[in-house]
Chains A and B, each alone.
Chain A
Amino acid sequence: MKVIIKGGRVIDPSRGVDGGADILIEDGKIVSVEEGLEAGGSEVFDASGLVVTPGFIDLHVHLREPGEEYKETIASGAQAAAAGGFTSVCAMPNTKPVNDNASVTRFIIDKAREASFARVFPVGAITRESKGEELAEMGEMKEAGAIAVSDDGHPVMDGQVMRHALEYARDHGLVVIDHCQDLHLSAGGVMNEGAYSTLLGLKGMNPIAEESHVARDIMLAKLTGARVHIAHISTEGSVRLVREARGQGIRVTCEVTPHHFALTDESVTGFDTNTKMNPPLRSAADREALIEAMRDGTIDAIATDHAPHHLDEKMLEYDRAPFGVVGLETALGVALTALYHSGRVELKRIVEMLTAAPARAFSLPFGTLSPGAPADITVFDPDREWTVEPRRFKSRSRNTPFNGWKLRGAVAATWVGGRKVFQADQP
């Protein structure tokens, strides 16, 4: 079966492509990307006025299955991903049970295959039950299909354990993703420590709680030669540390979430618990530094940290509500609205942070429209305006800080391996 995506503007940063072209897909693979391809009996998708890119890759999602299927399942999460233009997502291990062994890893892969929306790549735990004590069976999980390890949400506090984890992960070719946070320095914190936490009487987390661990990880990466990826980088100081490390040739990559580059801690003033996440929304100066780091390439990827929570759990007192927000279905709209339409970051660079750069960071064979590559493709309308209505989400959860926002930029259709997994309703 052949499909032609015709008349779009093709942006493929993996090959430096940006221009009008048609794409021919056959047997799940990209056959050719050229101007003026003949339809010749293929199904035609009219992409005129739209942008055609490699399928987006999200290095950081929480799919909640196994264990908390009332918040999200692998199927609902993968479907939400497809609706957001993501064809590959990396699922964090903090499920119940924790993905700290090959059987959980296999379970996730099987479930994702059944659902057959976006591809799901499991991230294994660094330590058993993410307790930060004994190393998890990284080699087994790698063989079962895990592409990286992380104790996301439960950062490894013990420097020696982290050192051994990096050395061991390196042996098995696994990237180590770290949620950088000194749990002592940030103890009890529910938002960024700054003028707004003081105004609101809420306990703050000082940026140094993140930055001191970023610094530690960079030094350990240098020591061990392991690949370290800093999850959801959020402060000016963290960005500076990563920039300096890269200048010294240390192998460290990082990602930023849409909520961190679109919002600041000022949003907390209404005590809406959908502004509560970890790391917290930071100051306006931090937000500026993140945008600058996206422009200069210090930040590799945009990742959502999609963290579904049920309404009943989220509708608690601000200091008792769980951290986290959903993000898969708003990521593109928020990125284009906050970065592209505001004139801050070029469209090509935004696409790169959603495709080629995350693929490179985790050595994934996707994020490109090269002939022969799997036909993972996202088509979006960069100008279409829409209003965020959480009840329309494919995700099982509604906890978004962007409820009611008017966004500019919407996904039109998504293909995974040549199969259309999402198509937007006609406006």
Chain B
Amino acid sequence: MAFNRKDLLGIRELQAEEILTILDTAETFKEVSARTIKKVPSLRGRTVINLFFESSTRTRTSFEIAAKRLSADAINISASTSSISKGESLIDTARNLEAMAPDAIVIRHPSAGVPHQLAKLVSASIINGGDGAHEHPTQAILDAFTIREHKGRIAGLQVAIIGDILHSRVARSNVHLLTKMGAHVRVAGPRTLIPPFYETIVGDSEGSLTVSEDIEGALAGADVVMMLRIQRERMTDAFFPSLKEYSIHYGLTLKRLELAASDCIVMHPGPVNRGVEISSEVVDSSRSLILDQVTNGVAARMAILFLMVGREG
């Protein structure tokens, strides 16, 4: 199935076949990334703007490398949130970007929905690089790619996603993607960090979603364990008493990991808070695929840029 979308705003809108096309294309680009000359000319002369309203060295660099390996010109704009509080409206932002005639705009923004709003205002392809607590589709694609690479499949796997579900766009995008592809997802964390009706966010799909506060139940027999970062800067409300208490009750330790399947893999979108949501021993263990995720991020984003920008002129 061909992938024919102007924008990649979220995983929720995608069909399973489209996800499969992206994953298959990413495999090709993983091979390209293994070459001595890791660059192909497919997007020569195209312009990709990385518009980041939140600092994120990892995701921005990943998109930048992806664009450059496709020979596109990558331009990074780091707009601090202080400049938007000066009152530039989204319309002005959009008009300014259009004037630079980019082919694609990767946008990360602390407010949910900004990519959707911009997509209606500009002709360039909009790629959501993470919007508020909403979606982070490219992270979900690279996570799925990593899972498939190690497990050979996604359908039928038991995947535990653990931690701050409330603020996590990574969790939301992964839940959409994995259930669409037929996995069984168990989401777990303290009740204060799980939004209401979370079990309803997936539509009809091959897979399933369960939600609980029982970390150990979620870990039991899991093929894949994804730990979510505790974002200290977002912990302004009284979600839990202390980081120490959080790590004791909800952190992933080698001992807790014994509950999972013997061949289970451990993932984390980074950056890791060692000793908070995940212990150092687990991060450094052979189960951990955290660095594979980073490597695969480039291939996944190359595939996405290629499929979106390399379509019709």
A interface list, Cβ under 8 A from B: 193-195, 197-202, 204, 270-271, 311-313, 315-320
Q: Does A200 lie within 8 Å of B134, measured CB to CB?
A: yes
Q: Does B89 lie within 8 Å of A271, measured CB to CB?
A: no
Chain B 130-145 per-residue mask, 1 if CB under 8 angstroms from chain A, else 0: 0111110000000000
Q: Would you list 21 pairs from A and B whose C-beta atoms are within 8 A, ordered by A residue?
A: A195-B201, A197-B195, A198-B195, A198-B200, A200-B112, A201-B135, A201-B169, A201-B172, A202-B112, A202-B134, A204-B195, A270-B116, A271-B112, A271-B114, A271-B116, A311-B91, A317-B111, A318-B111, A318-B112, A319-B112, A320-B111
Contact residues in A for B117 (Cβ distance below 8 Å): 271, 315, 317-318
> Given A200-B134, A201-B134, A316-B89, A195 and B112 touching (CB < 8 A)?
no
Most chain-A Cβ atoms within 10 A of its Cβ — which of B91, B117, B135? B117
Most chain-B Cβ atoms within 10 A of its Cβ — which of A270, A312, A313, A317? A317
Q: Does B116 lie within 8 Å of A319, measured CB to CB?
A: no
Contact residues in B for A200 (Cβ distance below 8 Å): 112-113, 134
**Selected contact of A198 from candidates B113, B114, B197, CB within 8 Å:** B197
A319 and B132 alpha carbons, distance in the complex (Å): 10
The reply to whether the CB of B79 lies closer than 8 angstroms to some CB of chain A is no
Question: From B201, which residue of chain A is reached at the shortest CB distance?
Answer: A199
A318 and B197 alpha carbons, distance in the complex (Å): 21
> Given A198-B195, A271-B117, A315 and B111 touching (CB < 8 A)?
no
The reply to whether the CB of B198 lies closer than 8 angstroms to some CB of chain A is yes
Residues of chain B in range 157-201 having any CB-CB distance to chain A below 8 Å: 169, 172, 195-198, 200-201
Q: Does B89 lie within 8 Å of A312, measured CB to CB?
A: yes
A315 and B200 alpha carbons, distance in the complex (Å): 29
Question: From B200, which residue of chain A is reached at the shortest CB distance?
Answer: A195
Contact residues in B for A316 (Cβ distance below 8 Å): 89-90
Residues of chain B in range 64-111 having any CB-CB distance to chain A below 8 Å: 89-91, 109, 111
For B, the interface residue count at a CB cutoff of 8 angstroms equals 24
> Given A194-B196, A195-B197, A317-B114, A201 and B89 touching (CB < 8 A)?
no
B272 vs chain A, min Cβ distance (A) = 22
A236 vs chain B, min Cβ distance (A) = 16
Most chain-B Cβ atoms within 10 A of its Cβ — which of A194, A198, A202, A319? A198
Q: Does A193 lie within 8 Å of B116, measured CB to CB?
A: no
Chain B 27-45 per-residue mask, 1 if CB under 8 angstroms from chain A, else 0: 0000000000000000000
Contact residues in A for B195 (Cβ distance below 8 Å): 197-198, 204
A49 and B112 alpha carbons, distance in the complex (Å): 48
Contact residues in A for B134 (Cβ distance below 8 Å): 200-202
B187 vs chain A, min Cβ distance (A) = 11
Question: From B119, which residue of chain A is reached at the shortest CB distance?
Answer: A271
A318 and B90 alpha carbons, distance in the complex (Å): 10
Q: Does A318 lie within 8 Å of B113, measured CB to CB?
A: yes
Q: Does B201 lie within 8 Å of A271, measured CB to CB?
A: no
Most chain-A Cβ atoms within 10 A of its Cβ — which of B89, B113, B116, B132? B113
Question: From A318, which residue of chain B is reached at the shortest CB distance?
Answer: B113
B84 vs chain A, min Cβ distance (A) = 8
A193 and B111 alpha carbons, distance in the complex (Å): 17
Question: From A199, which residue of chain B is reached at the shortest CB distance?
Answer: B201
> Given A315-B89, A316-B89, A320-B111, A198 and B135 touching (CB < 8 A)?
no
Q: Does A315 lie within 8 Å of B91, measured CB to CB?
A: yes
Question: From A270, which residue of chain B is reached at the shortest CB distance?
Answer: B116
Contact residues in B for A271 (Cβ distance below 8 Å): 112-114, 116-117
